[in-house]
Amino acid sequence: MTDPGDGRLSDEELVRYSRQIVLREVGGSGQLRLRESAVAVVGAGGLGSPALLYLAVAGVGRLTVIDDDRVSLDNLQRQVLHDTASVGEPKADAARRRLGTLNPNVQVDAVAARLDAGNAAALLRGHHAVVDGSDNFTTKLAVNDACVRLGVTAVIGSVLRFEGQVVTVPPGAPCYRCLVGEEPPEGLVPACSAAGVLGAVAGMVGSLQAAEVLRILLGAGEPAGGRVLLLEALRPRLRAVAFPPDPACPACAAAPRAAAPIS
């Protein structure tokens, strides 16, 4: 369906994406840029679901879904990518199937593996941006460290109860490890399973992550680095709070001086 490689949008694409092509920040050239972009999403859960849905329908050409979990019944309250019929199925496979029905122009690669510090660079290399929707610090720091080293923009999200945060880390900006330091001891930060989370709030955070990725791919708006977006859904309000680089950050010390080209 996608016009293969001649640098033009097909008639189908012009209609499908017409509401965003009319945006000055997108246009035909921006839409082509999205089509040529590759984004990895770590975790096809409460944050990864809305992020993947919006990236797929916006026409990001290649999406890699990384998740080693299977769909369970208590996921469905917030993980809107999955449905009742997919309970028991690997989330990466369920995600690929659903995204394929939403937008067959998008190539979706399903990786049913757990990302860790050992395989993160291999899994994330070759993408233009990475969305982290994982539910633990170990994975978030592995994503952060690999992206900083690869020179790939990371958009790291988290949600708990009625609060969420999004940290965008473009190459050269203060990173997620600069913000949070070392991994907190196990049990200090409660998990969603114990503390609870409202699905709509997870949806807001995942949508913010998708919007950050799209505007970075398009080069639209203000530079994204050095700020954490804090969402408080009970008040409700959204704030951007600046944070400085940590001169002792080991991840930033391992960063290349210039952004690495996409291979």
Closest CB to Zn ion among 103 and 168?
168
Nearest approach in angstroms of CB 115 to Zn ion is 19
Work out the end-to-end distance of the chain between its first and last CA atoms, rounded to an integer number of angstroms.
25
Nearest approach in angstroms of CB 252 to Zn ion is 3
Instruction: Take residue 107 and report the two structure tokens written for it.
Output: 């190539």
Collapsing DSSP to helix, strand or coil, 223 comes out as coil
Closest CB to Zn ion among 56 and 229?
229
Do the strands 163-169 and 153-160 form a parallel or antiparallel pair, or are they unpaired? antiparallel
Nearest approach in angstroms of CB 205 to Zn ion is 22
Nearest approach in angstroms of CB 251 to Zn ion is 5
Closest CB to Zn ion among 93 and 132?
132
Nearest approach in angstroms of CB 249 to Zn ion is 3
Closest CB to Zn ion among 232 and 246?
246
Cα angle at 163 between 162 and 164, to 5 degrees?
135
Closest CB to Zn ion among 181 and 190?
181
240 CB neighbour count, 10 Å cutoff: 11
| C-alpha 17, offset from chain centre | 21
Instruction: Take residue 65 and report the two structure tokens written for it.
Output: 């879904």
Closest CB to Zn ion among 98 and 149?
149
**Amino acid identity of 97?**
R
Cα–Cα distances in Å, from 193 out to 130, 135, 165, 189? 25, 10, 18, 12
Collapsing DSSP to helix, strand or coil, 107 comes out as strand
Nearest approach in angstroms of CB 144 to Zn ion is 8
* Contact by Cβ (8 Å): 237, 174: no
Cα Rg for the chain, rounded, in angstroms?
Answer: 18
Interacting residues toward Zn ion by CB under 5 A: 175, 177-178, 249, 251-252
Helices (H), the chain: 11-16, 18-21, 27-35, 48-57, 91-102, 120-124, 137-150, 176-180, 192-195, 199-218, 250-253
Closest CB to Zn ion among 88 and 256?
256
